[in-house]
Amino acid sequence: MSNTWPLTEKPREKLMQYGANALSDAELLAVLLGRGIRGQNVLIYAQQLLHGFGGLAALLSAGTEQLLSHRGLGPARVLQLQVVMELAKRYLQERLSRECCFSEPDHVKQYLTAQLRHQQREVFALLLLDSQHRLLRYEELFHGTINAAPVYPREVIKLVLQHNAAAVILAHNHPSGVSEPSQADQRVTERLKRALNLVDVRLLDHFVVGAGAPVSFAERGLL
């Protein structure tokens, strides 16, 4: 980093003086990375990374190969970024589990976005809830190809009974970015709803996570 910068424009010093909230995404990333690359100070390098990936969320959710393809991102830095993403996901899970019930669609959308939006393949997940709709367990049960994940009701019921869940929220991602539920999504939801009814477990919702806001089956009147 250039020594000619004013003190308050150096990300690390700015962080110490004003706190993390005062820093831009690029400045926070610069502090994390610590140094730039040949010919670029760390702040300019951080800005170029964010621009190249299309923002902080896209950078942190990128796959290992995609990250390694960028100049200056070696294995150590890629691991740094992946650790930040995982810590954020675990913080969100712990906070939401402690502070709220998962019957609020906005809370669920926030949680599932952190869990699923970064996935490169389609993933089918369950939120297992107790009778007060508090989170018992988040489980990624089925993994598929770029546009499909097989779903087996027997495995869903087995997991529900194993954890004595009283209610379930289904979720899956669309790696294509389009959050609109397909007809296949609706058929799977109906099959699982019937199966859960047999064991007296309520299906609260099914969310599809894409590039925009997640879509709720319950809000759409599809349950």
Average pLDDT over residues 191-204: 95
- Distance CA(201)–CA(196), nearest Å, equals 5
CA 185 to chain centre: 20
**Domain enclosing residue 38, as ranges:** 7-87
Q: Which residues contact 196 (CB under 8 A, 6 or more apart)?
A: 156, 157, 160, 168, 202, 203
Same domain, 105 and 213: yes
Residue 1 lies in a domain: no
User: In terms of domains, do 133 and 204 share one?
Assistant: yes
Residues 70 and 109 grouped into a single domain: no
Q: Which residue has the tokens 């190249």?
A: 52
pLDDT at 61 over 90: no
Assess if residue 32 is contained within a domain: yes
Q: Is residue 93 part of a domain?
A: no
Same domain? 73 vs 118 = no
Is residue 92 included in any domain, yes or no?
no
- Mean pLDDT over the full length of the chain: 86
CATH of the domain at 131: 3.40.140.10
Out of 87, 114, 148, a domain closes at: 87
Same domain, 56 and 136: no
pLDDT at 1 (0 to 100):
43
- Taken in order 109, 123, 129, 93, the sign of the CA dihedral is negative
d(CA 207, CA 200): 21
| Chosen domain end from 59, 87, 115 | 87
Digit-coded pLDDT (tens) for 159-193:
999 999 999 999 999 988 888 898 989 999 999 99
The alpha carbon of residue 116 and the mean position of all alpha carbons in its chain are separated, in whole angstroms, by 4
- Same domain (yes/no): 120, 82: no
Burial degree of 63 (CB within 10 A; 0-12, 13-18, 19+): middle
Beta strand extents in the chain (DSSP E only): 123-129, 135-143, 167-173, 202-209, 215-216
Q: Are residues 104 and 208 in the same domain?
A: yes
The domain spanning residue 38 has which CATH number? 1.10.150
52 vs 95 pLDDT, higher one: 52
Predicted pLDDT at 120:
78
- 46 shares its domain with 77: yes
Mean pLDDT is lowest, of 46-60, 90-104, 170-184, for 90-104
Per-residue model confidence as pLDDT tens digits over 143-165: 886 566 788 899 999 999 999 99
Q: How many domains does the chain have?
A: 2
Q: Are residues 71 and 114 in the same domain?
A: no
